[in-house]
Amino acid sequence: MIHDKTHTANGEFEKALARSKQEKYILRLYVTGLTQRSTKAITNVKGFCETYLKGRYELEVIDIYQQPHLAKGEQIIAAPTLIKKLPLPLRKLIGDMSDQEKFLVGIDLRPRKS
């Protein structure tokens, strides 16, 4: 039974990966200035994107101190916050993005573990 679940999860991951290889990702990262937490989030997101989405992503970094109207429009309540605009569905992740697994699940590159 465990083997079947693992096999299914691996199959879902392979399907998601194949689908993601064709799709362009539009990401927005909302940060608060050049704080250590903001800088870490930027570095982490860029690293994950270059590893898993190379050539297939657009990343816009928005400083909510400089452009507060953009944060209000997206209903940002904490920073750093990453929003995956495309491909749908829209997803929001909060934090410094240091957890690779959480990042991959959050942007739908890896299925959630049951």
pLDDT digits (tens, 9 = 90+) for 7-29: 566 666 566 556 556 799 999 99
Domain annotation for the chain: domains and CATH numbers? 2-106 (3.40.30.10)
Chain-centre distance for alpha carbon 3: 29
Q: What is the pLDDT of residue 111?
A: 83
DSSP symbols for 5-16: HHHHHHHHHHHH
Compute the mean pLDDT over every residue in the chain, rounded to the nearest whole number. Answer: 87
Round to whole Å and give the CA distance between 98 and 108. Answer: 17
Apex 37 CA angle, 100 and 43, nearest 5: 50
In a 3-state reduction of DSSP, which class is residue 60? strand
Chain-centre distance for alpha carbon 52: 11
Q: What is the pLDDT of residue 110?
A: 85
For the chain, how big is the Rg over CA atoms in Å?
15
pLDDT digits (tens, 9 = 90+) for 69-98: 988 889 899 999 999 999 999 999 999 999
pTM listed for this prediction: 0.79
